[in-house]
Structure 1
């Protein structure tokens, strides 16, 4: 029987990488880097062998997909922001055994999921940026999960998260961390205004909304947050339509989760978006099925995620 040891919502904002290099932005994201390193150290201390990343930069149009090839290595340049991330080297060991197990259990629980081992598909920077700081020595294996889901219901993403927990705890021989890699609000600054918004949010409304969400997380008000998530994903411009967050909460127990969030890197603005590093303690979940897996008729929960 395996263990789900840690769950976190993490930032992958490209200015983190830019801040490593000489220039006006050097050192400006050290708090985010330190937060990612701290979460990585916690995973080491907990004996984690594999980091499963819900990557809001991996766009898919059908099914859920897992990239679980045995080893990734290469150089990455962001197609979105090539002036922020350019020729970034990476090397990450994968975990095909865990990837296939996660997909098998998800399918068994009615969530259409495919695991890809023999593929040339490289991870997106929602996986690569956190790994740069959490796993520079290739200590951990990794599995990348598609979380920019264009034709998926949020309740299915929650069910996917619950299926992953069941696979880990019931059938995996090892210890895993789940990482929801994505921002809170994700409304980028309008073209031409990015430098002006490098360290702030696009609007006071979005910042107020994000800060209230962080308060709900820290207070453990999960019923309220779960009820607002579909609307927040749309009106708050949630990255990846917040599918990474739904997956994460599905694994934790959805509205029955009883933990309180621990902020590692305080909320900050980046190019108009809202960013944070936060850990969610893994608590026991009673019953054989998560409420989210049965909640497709709950008010608002069935709302389609695509805009």
Structure 2
């Protein structure tokens, strides 16, 4: 019988994948805390002895279906079409889990949820997966799950529930990773930094986003996912969160949605990335 052994929300922003010298310069003499934060998350993954990682990819936008990448193995070099001058030459080489992808699709069909596994080797990769793999995966199998863009919040939660059930029917020890920011309102192209340390929260695009991101973090730490979900439409959805918040909603759906009481441990500082709010938060699963 399979089990979800841990979960986390993690940042993937391209600034974290620049040279050490560049990052320290942009940090006004200090690196982003999200970089050593990856090491903290990695230690958690090792502690729970995961053999499989599911990544909810907030950049893989699909239409009509929640898609699951069922490839057996992935190897190549990645360049971002969004910012090819900045994020390029990312080498990747990791194993997938076609069996788990197929099981997720089968459980979805049983429950009339629009999820489909894709096994085509030419399916493009996205940096919300590649960046996280390169920082956090050390031999585990990886399954990426899309963010279906014609969904309401309850559709993401249904997708997560299906994934949770499929994991329970498998023999895998799974860590769930929601790859994306919290608030995701970019600064304009010609914005001027408020703080000389680019990662500083003062550079997040709106003060109200900072306040609501911190409110969400506090609720994560208390394990009050029910309160986040009950206030989702009124408070958090309008910010908006990255990828419609699908990376979090699918993750918490797999953990029981409103019934989930997994408490979060913040494993990095809360930081800016081009106006968006970024943090690593680990959820212990009992």
Say yes or no: TM over 0.5. yes
Return the match for 1:201 from 195, 201, 204. Answer: 204
Alignment length (residue pairs):
279
TM-score by length of 2: 0.91
Q: Larger deviation: 71-80 or 49-58?
A: 71-80
Tell me, yes or no, if the aligned pair for 2:212 and 2:236 is still in contact at 8 Å. no
CA distance in 2 between counterparts of 1:234 and 1:132 reads 29
Aligned to 1:226: 229
Q: How does 1:83-232 map to 2 (within 5 A)?
A: 83-135=85-137, 138-147=138-147, 149-169=148-168, 171-193=169-191, 198-199=198-199, 200-232=203-235
Give the drift of 1:165. 1.2
Alignment partner, residue 45 of structure 1: 47
- 1:198-277 alignment runs, 5 A limit: 198-199=198-199, 200-277=203-280
1:258-292 alpha-carbon deviations (Å, 9 max, x no partner): 22211111211111100010011224xxxxxxxxx
- Alpha carbons 1:194, 1:272 under 8 Å: kept: no
TM-score for the superposition, normalised by structure 1: 0.85
Aligned residue for 2:146, secondary structure, equals strand
Alignment partners' CA distance in 1, 2:72 and 2:26: 35
Structure 1: unaligned runs, 5 residues or longer: 284-307
The alpha-carbon distance between structure 1 residues 194 and 122, as it changes in their structure 2 partners (threshold 3 A), is: farther
Please state how far the C-alpha of 1:189 moved relative to its aligned partner.
Answer: 0.9
Which whole-Å CA distance do the structure 2 matches of 1:106 and 1:20 have between them?
43
1:98–1:156 distance in 2 versus 1, CA, 3 Å: same
Q: RMSD in angstroms over aligned alpha carbons?
A: 1.9
Q: Name structure 2 gaps, 5 residues minimum.
A: none
